[in-house]
């Protein structure tokens, strides 16, 4: 049963309205053309959150997280779309909202709790528990201005956690308080979850979301760009953050070291596999010639380097990388100068199709000791292979692959490299004979990490 | 309207808590507390009580009693309306981040200003009772207070949604109330107005309201002359304040969404 349901929700802010907030300004702006500017804070949000679920909303600053939370809370009304909420909601957008420094802690408990929507009777009943949780029993009659920030936080947390509602909305407030109190809060959240309360949590840190949430989504510029199981969403989010961090980092590094990539090397840095590749960079202030290598599914450092007309040119006749995304590293004296993400694309010719090599992760016996590599694998399976999921069982082996060529490894050596049918026959023979070799497993682990694939490929 | 009352009732706890906080901050914030918060009107009264009897050649005590009976209700109108006007902006952080509705914040303000008024009014009552025997008219007092409250709430609701769009109305209001004070029989009695203009003068409902308060407190004083019938005035004023409230409430309901985006 979903307790929160959003259907095609849109929220826009109009910037034009904000301009004139006094009569004087309005008078002055008479006759002037009004520049209407609309900012779309949320686009086409569809969302259903189940009862008892802990749901995370990830996103950068200004991606619309808080707006979404406010819409769920009913503080803001959407311009378009439907919001259905079942049960009592409490939004905790700021800790200690409305706290008055001149009043005592006791009075502030009552004030904050009523702002959060508690009735006086409920507060009376819960008062002892709130105070006990905050560990501030002795100072409840002290004015709040004499409290330390940490104490204020503790107090506000305890109040917020004792509001008796069905749905709790939390906005980036978990990262406060000392370690011990934080643990206590985390436990309290778990407890609330077990009580069947629905929690919606907003954060720009994937850590918090991963720790509590069952499901999550990523917001970017008001749109849901990723949705699903919290762990996966967090991974995706970290990826996004990492790539952005890299970009920033590289921009800085480029500035600092005065590295200039040549024009062809613009983002998204498309290179073609098996082709002649030249990367020239302009680099100043180096004591020793830097190295360039790729890191991704494979790691390669196959470039020759040469200094030509104040430019450092890395050159290779055949780019030995399989399809995927890589980082380019430029390293000098074991210190990284630059790191950039880029894509290597496979050329769409017959020749290269046959050269495209995939390796099957053989995690199930009796394949364990053997590795079979096919020339062409349909997209779907290739994807699954990348995730490390594709395990080809014996019966399906023929139908599973479409490629023309295949290669069989055993004991770190090529056993067969021929047309697919021929290699398959060989493979079957091997399995029937059930030859197990100890060293092979190690290599498999390596290949599953995508490290030694190139070596094989080149051997082919 | 019934829905409106039910809404108020269901959120009475938070309204009262906010009102209590507001009052507590007003009266407990400084060392002298209650006294200090009353000092400002006292000084105001003192200055006027020295200057005006001299100008008007009136008896000091007589003038003083007359003055406070009119001034305190008028001050209530002014303070309450102005505080409610800026209310949405003052409470913007709470309104933006909690589910408290805008009207409740204004209701809280209405209650806290009402309580301040009652405190001031009780001081007036004690002072006046020293010199003037309370008459049966004192029974009209709750009605007068009710009318004042309703009128202020209506004005407050109306102005509170305008203020976020036009923040300089607070200056305009200050000047307006300053002018209104002299168009109201507070520093002078109605008989100072030539009888020819008195009809026009009494078109001002605030003048009538202030007169009602004066009549309630000073009815038994020999110096007090009766111009208007108090019960009849109360009925008229009630209808007027009800109209003000309904207009204010309608305006508030219509525009609160837009105003809330601006705070």
Residue-wise pLDDT tens digits, B238-247: 999 999 999 9
Residues of chain A with C-beta less than 8 angstroms from the C-beta of B100: 115, 117
In Å, how far are A233, A408, A410, A438, B178 from A415, measured between CA atoms? Answer: 41, 5, 6, 16, 102
**Pairwise CA distance, residues B51 & B48, whole Å:** 5
Residues of chain A with C-beta less than 8 angstroms from the C-beta of B257: 77
Nearest CA in chain B to A75: B99
Is the Cβ pair B13, A90 closer than 8 Å?
no
pLDDT tens profile B120-136: 899 899 989 988 888 88
Percentage with pLDDT > 90 across chain A? 1
Q: Is A26 on the interface with B (CB under 8 A)?
A: yes
Residues A417-431 have a mean pLDDT of 66
pLDDT tens profile A163-216: 888 888 888 766 665 677 777 777 888 888 888 888 898 887 787 788 788 899
Band of the pLDDT at A64, cuts 50, 70, 90? Answer: confident
Residues of chain A with C-beta less than 8 angstroms from the C-beta of B17: 110-111, 114-115, 120
Residue A173 is predicted with a pLDDT of: 66
Is the Cβ pair A120, B17 closer than 8 Å?
yes
Q: Is A202 on the interface with B (CB under 8 A)?
A: no
Band of the pLDDT at A285, cuts 50, 70, 90? Answer: low
Residues of chain A with C-beta less than 8 angstroms from the C-beta of B101: none
Q: Is the pLDDT of residue A19 over 80?
A: no
Question: Which residue of A14, A26, A103 is in closest CB contact with B21?
Answer: A103
pLDDT tens profile A69-104: 888 888 888 888 888 888 888 888 887 788 888 888
Q: Regarding predicted confidence, which is higher, A363 or B241?
A: B241
Q: Is A114 on the interface with B (CB under 8 A)?
A: yes
**Pairwise CA distance, residues B151 & B74, whole Å:** 12
Residue B122 is predicted with a pLDDT of: 92
Is the Cβ pair B100, A115 closer than 8 Å?
yes
Is the Cβ pair B29, A13 closer than 8 Å?
no
The mean pLDDT of chain B is 89
Q: Work out how many CB contacts closer than 8 A connect A with B.
A: 82
Residues A324-345 have a mean pLDDT of 64
The mean pLDDT of chain A is 69
Q: Is A117 on the interface with B (CB under 8 A)?
A: yes
Q: Are A83 and A237 in contact (CB under 8 A)?
A: no
pLDDT tens profile B56-102: 777 888 888 889 999 999 999 999 999 999 999 999 888 888 888 89
Q: Is the pLDDT of residue A371 over 60?
A: no
Is the Cβ pair A120, B258 closer than 8 Å?
no
Q: Are strands A304-308 and A311-316 parallel, antiparallel or unpaired?
A: antiparallel
Q: Is the pLDDT of residue A448 over 50?
A: no
Residues of chain B with C-beta less than 8 angstroms from the C-beta of A107: 21, 24
Nearest CA in chain A to B97: A93
Percentage with pLDDT > 70 across chain B? 98
Q: Is the pLDDT of residue A274 over 80?
A: no
Give the angle subtended at the CA of A218 by the CAs of A53 and B263, to the nearest 5°.
Answer: 90
Residue A393 is predicted with a pLDDT of: 28
Residue A182 is predicted with a pLDDT of: 73
Is the Cβ pair A97, B13 closer than 8 Å?
no
Q: Regarding predicted confidence, which is higher, A26 or B179?
A: B179
Question: Which residue of B99, B258, B262 is in closest CB contact with A73?
Answer: B99
Q: Is A129 on the interface with B (CB under 8 A)?
A: no
Question: Which residue of B14, B24, B29 is in closest CB contact with A114?
Answer: B14
Residue B234 is predicted with a pLDDT of: 94
Percentage with pLDDT > 70 across chain A? 55
Residues A139-164 have a mean pLDDT of 85
Residues of chain B with C-beta less than 8 angstroms from the C-beta of A110: 17
Band of the pLDDT at A437, cuts 50, 70, 90? Answer: very low
Residues of chain B with C-beta less than 8 angstroms from the C-beta of A119: 13
Q: What's the complex ipTM?
A: 0.86
Q: Is A74 on the interface with B (CB under 8 A)?
A: yes
Q: Regarding predicted confidence, which is higher, B179 or B27?
A: B179
The dihedral through the CA atoms of A160, A162, A164, A169 has a sign that is: positive
Residue A455 is predicted with a pLDDT of: 24
Determine the distance in angstroms separating the CA of B168 from the nearest CA of chain A, rounded to an integer: 5
Residue B184 is predicted with a pLDDT of: 92
**Pairwise CA distance, residues B112 & B122, whole Å:** 15
**Pairwise CA distance, residues A90 & A160, whole Å:** 9
Q: Are A431 and A372 in contact (CB under 8 A)?
A: no
Is the Cβ pair B99, A75 closer than 8 Å?
yes
Per-residue burial over A223-238, b if 16 or more Cβ lie within 10 Å, else e, is ebebeeebeebbebbb
Residues of chain A with C-beta less than 8 angstroms from the C-beta of B261: 13-14, 17
Structural domain boundaries in chain B = 11-262
Residue A408 DSSP code: E
Residues of chain B with C-beta less than 8 angstroms from the C-beta of A120: 13, 16-17
Chain position carrying tokens 């078109």: B203
Residues of chain A with C-beta less than 8 angstroms from the C-beta of B88: none
Residue A431 is predicted with a pLDDT of: 54
Is the Cβ pair B98, A93 closer than 8 Å?
yes
Could you tell me how many helices (H) and strands (E) chain A has, helices first? 14, 22
Which of A79-93, A223-237, A432-446, B146-160 has the lowest average pLDDT? Answer: A432-446
Which of A112-121, A132-141, B223-232 has the lowest average pLDDT? Answer: B223-232
Residue A300 is predicted with a pLDDT of: 60
Nearest CA in chain A to B170: A22
Determine the distance in angstroms separating the CA of A204 from the nearest CA of chain B, rounded to an integer: 19
Is the Cβ pair A107, B24 closer than 8 Å?
yes
Is the Cβ pair A117, B98 closer than 8 Å?
yes
pLDDT tens profile B149-179: 999 999 999 999 999 888 889 999 999 999 9
Q: Is the pLDDT of residue B195 over 60?
A: yes
Nearest CA in chain B to A108: B21
Band of the pLDDT at A400, cuts 50, 70, 90? Answer: very low
Q: What is the pTM of this model?
A: 0.70
Determine the distance in angstroms separating the CA of A74 from the nearest CA of chain B, rounded to an integer: 7
Token pair belonging to A120: 């006086």
Residue A386 is predicted with a pLDDT of: 40
Q: Regarding predicted confidence, which is higher, A385 or A148?
A: A148
Beta carbons within 8 Å of B250's beta carbon, 6+ residues apart: none
At the topology level of CATH, where does A258-345 sit?
Answer: Immunoglobulin-like (2.60.40)
**Pairwise CA distance, residues A201 & A55, whole Å:** 6
Q: Is A120 on the interface with B (CB under 8 A)?
A: yes
Candidates B17, B37, B257, partner chain A, best to mutate (most A CBs within 10 A):
B17
Residue A231 is predicted with a pLDDT of: 87
Q: Regarding predicted confidence, which is higher, A448 or B11?
A: B11
Phi, psi of A8 (to 5 degrees): 45, 55
Residues A361-388 have a mean pLDDT of 43
Question: Which residue of B17, B29, B258 is in closest CB contact with A114?
Answer: B17
In Å, how far are A133, B44, B163 from B57, measured between CA atoms? Answer: 68, 19, 42
pLDDT tens profile A288-307: 677 777 776 556 665 677 77
Determine the distance in angstroms separating the CA of B249 from the nearest CA of chain A, rounded to an integer: 20
């Amino acid at each position: 049963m979903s307790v929160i349901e959003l259907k095609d929700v849109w929220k826009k802010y109009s910037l034009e309205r904000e301009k004139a907030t006094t009569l004087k300004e309005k008078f002055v702006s008479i006759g002037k053309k009004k520049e209407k500017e609309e900012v779309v804070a949320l686009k086409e949000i569809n969302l259903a959150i189940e009862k008892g679920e802990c749901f995370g909303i990830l996103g950068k600053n200004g991606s619309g997280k808080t707006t979404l939370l406010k819409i769920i809370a009913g503080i803001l009304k959407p311009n378009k779309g439907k919001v259905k909420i079942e049960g009592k909601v409490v939004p905790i957008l700021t800790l200690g909202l409305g706290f008055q420094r001149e009043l005592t802690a006791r009075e502030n408990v009552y004030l904050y709790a009523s702002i959060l929507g508690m009735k006086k009777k409920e507060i009376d009943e819960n008062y002892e528990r709130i105070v006990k949780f905050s560990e501030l029993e002795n100072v409840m009659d002290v004015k709040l201005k004499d409290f330390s920030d940490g104490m204020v936080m503790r107090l506000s947390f305890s109040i917020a956690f004792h509001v008796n509602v069905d749905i709790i909305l939390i906005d980036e407030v978990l990262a406060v308080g000392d370690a011990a109190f934080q643990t206590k809060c985390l436990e309290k959240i778990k407890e609330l979850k077990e009580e069947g309360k629905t929690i919606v949590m907003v954060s720009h840190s994937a850590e918090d979301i991963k720790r509590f949430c069952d499901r999550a989504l990523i917001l970017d510029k008001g749109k849901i760009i990723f949705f699903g199981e919290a762990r996966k969403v967090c991974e995706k989010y970290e990826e996004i953050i990492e790539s952005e961090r890299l970009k920033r980092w590289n921009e800085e590094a480029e500035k600092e070291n005065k590295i200039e990539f040549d024009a062809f090397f613009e983002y998204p840095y498309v290179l073609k596999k098996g082709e002649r590749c030249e990367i020239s960079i302009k680099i100043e202030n180096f004591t020793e010639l830097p190295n360039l290598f790729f890191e991704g599914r494979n790691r390669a450092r196959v470039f020759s380097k040469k200094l030509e007309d104040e430019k450092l040119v890395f050159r290779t006749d055949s780019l030995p990388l399989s399809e995927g995304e890589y980082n380019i590293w430029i390293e000098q004296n074991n210190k990284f100068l630059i790191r950039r993400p880029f894509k290597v694309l496979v050329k769409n010719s017959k020749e290269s199709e046959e050269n495209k090599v995939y390796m099957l992760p053989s995690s199930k016996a009796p394949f364990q000791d053997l590795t079979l590599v096919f020339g062409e694998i349909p997209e779907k399976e290739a994807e699954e292979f990348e995730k490390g999921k594709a395990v080809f069982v014996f019966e399906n082996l023929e139908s599973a692959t479409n490629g023309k060529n295949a290669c069989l490894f055993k004991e770190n050596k090529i056993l067969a490299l021929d047309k697919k049918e021929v290699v398959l026959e060989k493979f079957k023979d091997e399995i029937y004979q059930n030859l197990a070799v100890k060293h092979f497993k190690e290599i498999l682990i390596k290949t599953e990490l995508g490290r030694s694939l190139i070596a094989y490929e080149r051997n082919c | 309207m019934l829905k409106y009352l039910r809404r108020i009732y269901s959120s009475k706890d938070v309204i009262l808590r906010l009102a209590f906080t507001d009052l507590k901050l007003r009266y407990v914030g400084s060392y002298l507390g209650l006294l200090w918060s009353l000092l400002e009107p006292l000084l105001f009264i003192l200055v006027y009580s020295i200057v005006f009897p001299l100008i008007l050649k009136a008896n000091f005590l007589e003038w003083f009693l007359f003055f406070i009976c009119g001034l305190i209700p008028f001050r209530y109108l002014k303070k309450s309306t102005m505080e409610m006007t800026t209310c949405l902006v003052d409470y913007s952080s709470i309104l933006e981040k909690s589910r408290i509705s805008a009207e409740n914040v204004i209701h809280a303000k209405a209650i806290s200003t009402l309580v301040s008024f009652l405190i001031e009014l009780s001081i007036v009552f004690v002072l006046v009772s020293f010199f003037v025997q309370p008459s049966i008219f004192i029974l009209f007092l709750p009605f007068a207070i009710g009318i004042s409250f309703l009128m202020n709430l209506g004005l407050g609701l109306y102005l509170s949604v305008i203020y976020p769009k036009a923040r300089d109305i607070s200056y305009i209001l200050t000047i307006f109330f300053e002018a209104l004070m002299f168009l109201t029989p507070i520093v002078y009695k109605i008989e100072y107005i030539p009888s020819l203009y008195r009809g026009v003068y009494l078109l001002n409902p605030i003048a009538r309201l202030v007169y009602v308060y004066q009549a309630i407190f000073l009815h038994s004083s020999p110096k007090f002359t009766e111009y208007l019938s108090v019960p009849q005035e109360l009925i008229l004023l009630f209808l007027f304040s009800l109209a003000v409230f309904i207009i204010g409430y309608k305006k508030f309901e219509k525009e609160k969404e837009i105003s809330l985006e601006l705070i």
